[in-house]
């Protein structure tokens, strides 16, 4: 099968989280901030730029960026850089929606809380599942399928007037 040479949807899911507190060495603090912003925000912005340029030539497309509930509620002191990077993803997504809707380019964000992924497993192993679920009223960690179903819906183009919105997927642990 040959690739058709067209991209209709860009889903940006990359993300890292590393610990760096205010009492850590300045070099570590700065390094973690720079790495986190590079992966979680700047790389996403670069991919969005490429997608927008591609979509303008093809009469439209859809961008879906994965942020985090941390973008809205903040995070623990050792992870404020993560929350800041994901807050940037929300602002990026909203700006794209406002700036390129006339080009039929739709932009959405999803903001998961804990999702049963390898990244969450590290936290769960270190802190225990109770620590991960204690503030989730639904009582359990979201399966990856919950996020995938929302991304699939947004990818369908079925609700273009939702452009610029963020969908929370966090078991009611944070709603904005």
Both tokens of 77, joined, read 């002191």
Distances from the Cα of 83 to the Cα of 6, 17, 70, 99, 102, angstroms:
33, 9, 5, 24, 30
Of 87, 110, 108, 82, which Cα lies nearest the Cα of 21? Answer: 82
Please say whether the beta carbons of 163 and 101 come within 8 A. Answer: yes
The DSSP secondary-structure symbol of 42 reads: I
Both tokens of 68, joined, read 């985090």
Q: Which residue in 72, 82, 100, 108 is the catalytic one?
A: 82
Of 29, 96, 16, 14, which Cα lies nearest the Cα of 56? Answer: 96
Does the annotation count 82 as an active-site position? yes
Q: Which residues are catalytic?
A: 82
């Amino acid at each position: 099968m040959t690739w058709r040479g067209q991209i209709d949807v860009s889903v940006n899911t990359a993300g890292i989280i590393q610990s760096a507190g205010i009492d850590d060495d300045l070099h570590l603090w700065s390094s973690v901030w720079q790495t986190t912003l590079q992966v979680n925000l700047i790389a996403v912005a670069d991919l969005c730029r490429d997608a927008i340029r591609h979509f303008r030539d093809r009469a439209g497309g859809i961008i879906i960026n994965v942020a985090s509930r941390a973008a809205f509620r903040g995070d623990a002191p050792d992870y404020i850089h993560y929350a800041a990077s994901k807050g940037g993803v929300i602002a990026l997504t909203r700006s794209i929606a406002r700036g390129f809707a006339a080009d039929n380019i739709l932009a959405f964000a999803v903001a998961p809380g804990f999702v049963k992924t390898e990244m969450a497993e590290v936290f769960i192993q270190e802190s225990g599942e109770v620590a991960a679920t204690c503030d989730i009223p639904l009582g359990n960690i979201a399966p990856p399928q919950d996020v995938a179903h929302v991304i699939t819906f947004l990818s369908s183009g079925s609700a273009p007037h939702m452009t610029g919105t963020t969908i929370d997927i966090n078991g009611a642990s944070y709603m904005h």
